[in-house]
Amino acid sequence: MTEKTSHASGEAADASGSASAAGAPVILSNEPGSFAWGVLAKRHPALIQQVRDAFPYGPLQHEALDALLDEITNGVVEPLVLEDHDDERWADWGREHFGRSWYDAPFLWAESYFYRRLLGAVGYFGTGPWQGVDPFAPFKRAELCGEAVEEELRALDALADVPAEERATALLHASLWGNRADLGFRVSAGELAAGEAVATALVADDSAMLWQLLPVGASSTVALVADNAGRELIPDLILVDHLLEHHHAERVVLHVKPYPYYVSDAMTADVVDCLRRLTEAPGEAGRIGGRLWKALAAGTLEIRTHSFFCAPLPYEDMPEDLRNEFASATLTILKGDLNYRRLVGDQLWDATTPFVDLTAYFPGPVAALRTLKSDVIVGLEQERMDALERSGAAWRTSGTHALIQVRRLILQL
């Protein structure tokens, strides 16, 4: 079937219409007071201390963490030691940045490399007793066991008898907002109690197009690239259950990180923890957990990972095997802020640059579900952009706004 559509309806042009990266500066961290500067100058040093306090590490780990802290605050970017398993890859990715200030490296690269170095400092990749021990696990587990998750799982009972279309909207919003998932779960008299607040906070909403791509009864395969674990992964899994149970998808492939990344990013172990949390819960949550457990056994839900998910690269540079995988999916859903930055490029785009132009390279239909927590934003209407700027709020980085953006695949005549 051939479609012809316009940018006004949110559809993609062919690759020849792609926006040029030349006109959008890459985001660096060397502007004091900027969001990127704050991450490197404040968030990363604080995280080193939190990780140090979370485990009874020995002198070697303490010395390595102290050295990393000194490097990121006072020194220059140092390469990995030669015997590290991935030193050649990082030598290639970082050749332009080693020996320079961390603040002068691209923000996306500097963040990614910081987490790689943090894992190295605590011995995650070594052969000693701390090999494979997730330094962020205590933070993930604490959130998963919190009262907020308990309340959200109980709230699922109210959704059980809601019409499928309204339930789908609620669960999509829950997955979108992640740790504000309760916005999506509140249901009153068959309507979202928080629906108006959610709509106001959405800076772009292509959700209708998303559901058009996944009609009930079609033999669809959905690739969902997860973001965070814990309280944010549970709504993703519940959305997956809805897609399978209501026949929006015949099969779902859940992509997670191969090792710890960006504090709370989801790995296979985190998926298992969330599934156990669901299956052990009473009511609708337990039924959802049971169905997902069976879906994994049957192969209608599959967990996969790829080293590229922990690379400091945009999706435009994805390897061929991952490109082929996304090309075979009916729809790829990318969750979260980091995936969005990698999808459109971590650059200072004009906010009205069409989303469809910057994602024209993607090998299949793609949807971004993202709570805004960094400067990058594209695909906004000028009127909406002007209103947001007039508000005076830090709407790009505060997590108070979100978006659902979709690019369909255009089949040429």
What is the residue extent of each domain of the chain?
Answer: 7-17+142-407, 35-133
What tokens appear for 89 in the block?
A: 């890859």
Other CB atoms within a 10 A radius of the CB of residue 403 amount to: 22
pLDDT at 142 over 50: yes
Q: Which CATH class is domain 35-133?
A: mainly alpha
pLDDT at 190 over 60: no
Residue 338 is predicted with a pLDDT of: 96
Residue 232 is predicted with a pLDDT of: 92
pLDDT at 191 over 60: no
Residue 411 is predicted with a pLDDT of: 52
Which pLDDT band holds residue 124 (cuts at 50, 70, 90)?
A: very high
Distance CA 205, CA 404 (A): 5
- Choice among 22-36, 360-374, 399-413 with the minimum mean pLDDT: 399-413
Q: 232-265 b/e with 16+ CB inside 10 Å = b?
A: bbbbbbbbbbbbbebebbebbbbbbbebbbbbbb
Average pLDDT, the chain: 89
Helix (H) or strand (E) holding 241: helix 233-245
**Whether 370 contacts 340, CB under 8 Å:** yes
> 3-state SS of the chain: helix, strand, coil percent to 5?
50, 10, 40
Indicate the fold that domain 7-17+142-407 takes in CATH: Rossmann fold (3.40.50)
pLDDT at 180 over 60: no
Helices (H), 30-77: 35-38, 44-54, 59-74
pLDDT digits (tens, 9 = 90+) for 266-282: 999 999 999 999 999 99
- Choice among 117-121, 294-298, 328-332, 398-402 with the minimum mean pLDDT: 398-402
Model confidence pTM above 0.85: yes
Residue 10 is predicted with a pLDDT of: 36
| Residue whose token pair is 């900027």 | 34
Residue 21 is predicted with a pLDDT of: 45
